[in-house]
Structure 1
Amino acid sequence: MADGAGKGGDASGGPPAKVSSVLFLCGMNAIRSPIAEALARSVLPQTVYIASAGVRQGRRDPFVDAVLAERGLSLGDRQPQRFEDLEDGYFDLIVTMAPEAHHAALDATGTASVEVEFWPMPDPSVVTGSREQILEAYRDVLKRIEQRIERRFGR
């Protein structure tokens, strides 16, 4: 599917429907999806259930904590979790941030009435160089996710 396309989208091309639950899904729930979860929690109403997960088990990434702290955000004691281990499997919207996550979401949702959107995001963990260069890659991903959240949810 094209960037931003999803199952169950508004065929009229109008604004996206309001959602009551959102899952952000990426490879290991260590970088992109937890950043998205933290950002979404900071802007969406508390009535919206927000979660994140990965298709594989990951480890918490200290650079994520650093760039979120720069924004006054925190993951608290939250640890990465796998998509298949989620207690609540129903979401109005699943936002995938990596090709493998997108395929997993489409396979898992089948014919269910859930919107799946693909927001491809680079993996900043592949960047090498100084600590500042690596942090800049993480900040860039945070900004990209923030812009997508603003566009999608009208913030």
Structure 2
Amino acid sequence: MSGGPDDERAEADASASHARPKISSVLFLCGMNSIRSPMAEALAKEFLPSTVYIASAGVRLGQRDPFVDTVLAERGLSLGERQPQRYEDMEDGYFDLIVTMAPEAHHVALDATGTSSVEVEFWPMPDPSVVTGSREQILDAYRDVLRRIEARIAGRFGR
């Protein structure tokens, strides 16, 4: 006999999985690929199956941010030797999903994808590099952005 809460949950999960196509590649795009998009890349690589290709880039070339390395290390994550890269310099430009994290990046993604079937989502995130104060206050701003990104990834990809 059906109709219990588990059956309803299974039906809801099944209909949700049909509503969105399966994602096999994700690009996180922000201004300089220094803070928000590399954080998202590191978190997504931990969260999503290894079969999903995950990358990040910026619309302008930036410098690696040591505060990002610090807050990622607190979570047991690392960017390794990865350096910031520009979207236009990427060898593989096709992704199922492009997540933009800054208005400038969103406009670039929309212009670049045009009429193609790439899904573009805007996840506005604050820029922690504008925060001033003590080292701990600045790190707290970076931690806050990391938590926000993690919540968006969990909400979008279902965990």
**TM-score, normalised to structure 2's length?**
0.88
Q: Which has the larger radius of gyration?
A: 2
SS in 2 for 1:25: strand
Aligned to 1:3: none
**TM-score, normalised to structure 1's length?**
0.90
Alignment of 1:63-142 (within 5 A): 63-142=67-146
Q: Distance in 2 between matches of 1:17 and 1:35?
A: 25
Gaps of 5+ in 2: 1-15
Name the count of aligned residue pairs: 143
| Percent identity for Structure 1 against Structure 2 | 83
Alignment of 1:31-50 (within 5 A): 31-50=35-54
Q: Distance in 2 between matches of 1:147 and 1:15?
A: 21
> Equivalent of 1:29, from 29, 33, 40?
33
- Which has more helix, going by share of residues? 2
Gaps of 5+ in 1: 1-11
Q: Deviations over 1:49-102 (max 9, x none)?
A: 000000000000000000000000000000000000000000000000000000
Task: Report the aligned-residue RMSD.
Answer: 1.2
CA drift of 1:18 comes to: 2.1
Structure showing greater relative contact order (alpha-carbon pairs closer than 8 Å, 6 or more residues apart): 1
